[in-house]
Amino acid sequence: MDNEVDANVATMSLGELVSHSMVLPMYGASAESVTGEQAEANRSIYAADTPREIIEAIRPGGVLLLDRIAFHPRFGDLPLASVVSPAQLTEYTEELQSVARSAGLANLLIVTDQEGGRVNRLPTPPLPSASSIGATSRPDLARAAGELTGRIASSFGVNVVFGPVADIGVANSAIGDRSFGADPRAVAEMVVATVDGITAAGVAAVAKHWPGHGRADADSHVSLPTLDVSASEWREAELLPFDAAVQAGTDAVAVAHLSAPALDPSGRPASASASLVRLLRKLTGFAGVTFSDALWMPAIRRFAPTDPEAAAAVLGAGVDLLLAPPDPWGTMESIDTAGAGDELRASLEASATRTLALRRRLGAAAQRPDGTDWSEEIRRLAADIGTASEGANPS
């Protein structure tokens, strides 16, 4: 399998390597049928009307599912509608993989945020937030929540979950209740348990947001945050949960759009910092796949003058997968026109090798989506977490 992946990567053009690095959100709830408004939005971004046509034209590495958040600043509140109902989502993900197979592509990465609490993209009731689970001091419940999250995702054809959040939680943080707590070692325990649960369900976990967003001074959905801690403070806190996630076998890590001057004095966002991407692999031994955070976010858009320049900076830093690049054709054209030196070409080939290996492994392990009704299992586990949390924090 590895030799086959290596041989395929060696024959890819520069444009193919860049297209394989893209994970794209698409307007519409079906691969074939979209509203006129959705077709217009797709056409404006991708020069194609439907998800089928987008996959056939761009040949991306994956698809990002969102339930209600518009990913492109040009279209305001126009709903993506890629997640509408259990039956719709089950059919949609099957369609997407069928399109990929027909186009001669490896199994697509079909990804979404599914943390529990206020970040719940799939069409089920939410599990409790990370902070609620952390308050129980029970890693076994974190593992149960992770495994149930993975089983739910798999039942809808989703093979990559953006979670767990490995950030340290502090008061007034933008991360808030998405973190397991403020104690780095306790957070690391919960992260390990969650990664173990998600991967046990046959789904890839993505620990986020490297190098740690919890103590950053702003929200990267609004501006470029700064993680203003010393290198020694960072090693004693933020690093611990990410290292734990890697040792637990997380398949992927998401790199944040935030500046960490003590780790990279240039002030570049981590997602565009070769130093910080290398640091992840050097300090933890991580050999898996890295995702950027979404490229429509203001934190990265303010760093580079154009969307293609931002995407090129992220790829140049060694990040493997571009999440939601707003101008995919412009990005491919820009990199293709500029050409690639030996170093960038080698980096893109290494990224494609890692991502194709993951895509094929997840495809080999995939089960047919069935759209199971998870309401009762979610209710029972939420009740267990609530009881344990009350017991750990008696009034």
Supply the residues annotated as catalytic: 221, 293
Q: Bigger pLDDT: 115 or 10?
A: 115
CA distance 96 to 258: 33
41 occurs within a structural domain: no
Domain that holds residue 209: 58-81+110-366
Residues 37-59 pLDDT 10s: 889 989 999 999 999 999 999 99
Helix (H) or strand (E) holding 51: helix 51-58
Which of residues 133 and 84 earns the better pLDDT score?
A: 133
Backbone angles phi, psi at 282, to 5 degrees: -70, -45
Least reliable range by pLDDT among 71-80, 94-103, 208-217, 328-337: 71-80
Burial class of residue 376 (count of CB atoms within 10 Å of its CB; 0-12, 13-18, 19+): exposed
Write out pLDDT tens, residues 218-229.
777 777 888 999
Residue 175 lies in a domain: yes
Nearest 5°: CA angle at 93, between 91 and 95?
Answer: 70
- CA neighbor of 18 nearest in space, from 331, 377, 356, 371: 331
* Mean pLDDT, residues 90-115: 96
Give the pLDDT confidence score for residue 187 in this predicted structure. 98
pLDDT at 355 over 50: yes
Q: What percent of the chain has a predicted confidence (pLDDT) above 90?
A: 74
- Asked if residue 134 has pLDDT above 80, the reply is yes
Q: Report yes or no: 253 and 286 within 8 Å, Cβ to Cβ.
A: yes
CA distance 317 to 389: 41
Give the list of residues 6+ apart from residue 283 with CB closer than 8 angstroms, or none: 239, 243
**What is the CATH number for 277?**
3.20.20.300
Query: What is the reported pLDDT for 270?
Result: 96
Task: Decide if 195 contacts 164 (C-beta within 8 A).
Answer: yes
For residue 225, the one-letter residue type is P
Model confidence over 226-245: pLDDT tens digits? 899 999 999 999 999 999 99
Q: How confident is the model at residue 1 (pLDDT cuts 50, 70, 90)?
A: very low
What's the token pair of residue 315? 């790829």
- pLDDT at position 23, please? 98
Q: How many CA atoms lie within 13 A of 88 on its CB side?
A: 17
What pLDDT is recorded for position 370? 81
Nearest-angstrom CA–CA distance, 252 and 293: 12
Length of the chain: 395
Token pair of 133 as six digits = 């689970």
| Residue at 377 is within a domain | no
Has residue 103 got a pLDDT over 80? yes
Is 198 part of any domain? yes
Question: What gap in Å lies between CA 170 and CA 393, rounded to an integer?
Answer: 18
Percent of the chain topping pLDDT 70: 92
Q: Which residue has the higher pLDDT, 332 or 220?
A: 332
391 has pLDDT over 90? no
- How much is the average pLDDT of 279-284? 98
Burial of 77 per CB tally in 10 Å (0-12, 13-18, 19+): exposed
pLDDT of 254 > 60? The answer is: yes
Which is nearest to 218 in space by CA: 164, 175, 178, 264?
A: 175
pLDDT tens track for 55-99: 999 999 999 998 765 556 666 666 677 899 999 999 999 999 999
pLDDT for the residue numbered 394: 63
Q: Which amino acid is at 306?
A: T
In a domain, 154, yes or no: yes
User: In Å, how far are 122, 139, 208, 272, 375 from 311, measured between CA atoms?
Assistant: 28, 37, 19, 9, 39
- Mention every residue, 6+ apart, whose C-beta is less than 8 A from residue 76: 70
* Contact predicate 298/314, CB 8 Å: no
pLDDT of residue 306: 87
Q: What is the pTM of this model?
A: 0.94
257 in a structural domain: yes
The answer to whether residue 15 is domain-embedded is no
Structurally, the chain folds into a number of domains equal to: 1
Angle between helices 307-316 and 342-365 (to 10 degrees): 90
- Band (345; pLDDT cuts 50, 70, 90): confident
Virtual torsion, Cα 285, 291, 292, 296, nearest 10 deg? -170
